Amino acid sequence: MKHRVRIDMSFDSETDAKSLMDFARGLISKAENIKEDKPEAEISFCDYHLCFHDEQTNRPCEPIEKVEIRKIQAIPIER
C-alpha cells in the first residue's frame, strides 16, 4: 500500500505556483513509483503549466515544467 497524494491547483500568482513546484521537487527523493518496470506502472510526477481555460477564447495549455520520478533507468541496447 502507498500513501498517494494528487494535487491540481490553479493560482493567479506565478510565485505561488513555483512555490508549490519547489516544495514538490524537494520531496522527489522520497517519492516512489508503483510497478515502474511493468506495463501497468504508476509514475510519480509534478507538472506545471499555464492554463488558458478561464479565458474567453480557449487555447491549449502551455507546458512549463514536468518532472517524472524514474528510479529505474532504461539501459540502451547496443547493436
Quick one: pLDDT at residue 26?
Answer: 93
**Mean pLDDT across 73-77:** 62
In 1-79, DSSP assigns E strands to: 45-50, 62-68
19-72 pLDDT, tens per residue?
A: 999 999 999 999 999 999 899 999 999 999 999 999 988 899 999 999 998 887
Rounded-to-integer distance, Cα 43 and Cα 38, Å: 11
**Would you say residue 76 has pLDDT above 70?**
no
DSSP state of 62: E
Q: How many CA atoms lie within 13 A of 36 on its CB side?
A: 13
Q: What is the pTM of this model?
A: 0.77
